[in-house]
């Protein structure tokens, strides 16, 4: 289903033009308007889903296969030194467009970007408790 108020639905379904590097019946891969680096691309499902929690299993399986194809093509075409796959869910995680998208970001030595986190600390008992909570929530 498409959401008429969603810009990525319109882009994914071709109603708004975009620089497309790949398209099939389920996905469109476009270049980001404000790229972190040369070649920064976004994988968009054509169906509206706001985030990973709303994603069906088939789309979830196919999106990473596609990410792997795009990443391999980027490596070859752009001769990048690395690639980050980034996928934000929720405002707290930095999501700004609420239609699922996966960032494929080619990285170049000294490209000046910093896609990182500050390592924290944890105790074994705390890790065990957290793991048990997540395990209990898995279906
Ligand atoms: P988020 O922060 O939600 O993970 O990422 C949203 C991304 O979409 C940003 O990198 C932003 O530059 C990109 N973006 C937002 N609007 C448009 C658009 O209309 N066209 C394209 N190609 N990229 C967009
Ligand atoms: Zn949408």
Cβ atoms within 10 Å of 22's Cβ, excluding its own: 14
Taking the centre of ligand 1 as the mean of its atom positions, its distance from the CA of residue 12, in whole angstroms, is: 12
- pLDDT, position 66: 98
Q: How far apart are CA 125 and CA 70, in angstroms?
A: 40
2 versus 68: which is more confidently predicted? 68
The secondary structure of residue 99, as a DSSP letter, is S
Q: How far apart are CA 136 and CA 73, in angstroms?
A: 39
Mean of the per-residue pLDDT values for the chain?
97
pTM reported for the whole predicted model: 0.97
Nearest ligand to the CA atom of 89: 1
Pocket of ligand 1 from Cβ distances under 6 Å: 7, 18, 30, 32-34, 42, 88, 94-97
**Cα R_g (the chain), whole angstroms:** 17
Per-residue pLDDT band for 1 (boundaries 50, 70, 90) equals confident
Nearest CA to ligand 1 atom 13: 32
Q: In the annotation, is 101 catalytic?
A: yes
Per DSSP, the chain holds a count of helices (H) and strands (E) of 3, 5
Residues 3-21: pLDDT tens digits?
999 999 999 999 999 999 9
Q: How far apart are CA 34 and CA 36, in angstroms?
A: 7
3-state helix, strand, coil in the chain (%, to 5): 35, 20, 45
Taking the centre of ligand 2 as the mean of its atom positions, its distance from the CA of residue 130, in whole angstroms, is: 33
Taking the centre of ligand 1 as the mean of its atom positions, its distance from the CA of residue 75, in whole angstroms, is: 22
Return the closest-CA partner of residue 68 out of 85, 53, 49, 80.
85
The secondary structure of residue 91, as a DSSP letter, is G
Residues 70-122: pLDDT tens digits?
999 999 999 999 999 999 999 999 999 999 999 999 999 999 999 999 999 99
Token duo for residue 60: 């979830």
Per-residue pLDDT band for 131 (boundaries 50, 70, 90) equals very high
């Amino acid at each position: 289903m498409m959401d008429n108020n969603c810009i990525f639905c319109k882009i994914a379904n071709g109603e708004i033009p975009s620089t497309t590097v790949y398209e099939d019946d389920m996905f469109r891969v476009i270049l980001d308007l404000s790229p972190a680096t040369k070649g920064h691309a976004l994988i968009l499902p054509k169906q509206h889903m706001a985030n990973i929690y709303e994603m069906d299993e088939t789309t979830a399986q196919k999106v990473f296969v596609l990410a792997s194809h795009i990443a391999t093509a980027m490596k070859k075409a752009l001769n990048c030194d690395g690639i980050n796959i980034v996928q934000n869910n929720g405002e707290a995680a930095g999501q700004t467009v609420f239609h699922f998208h996966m960032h494929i970001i080619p990285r170049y030595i000294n490209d000046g970007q910093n896609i990182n986190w500050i390592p924290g600390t944890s105790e074994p008992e705390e890790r065990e408790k957290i793991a048990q909570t997540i395990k209990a929530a898995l279906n």
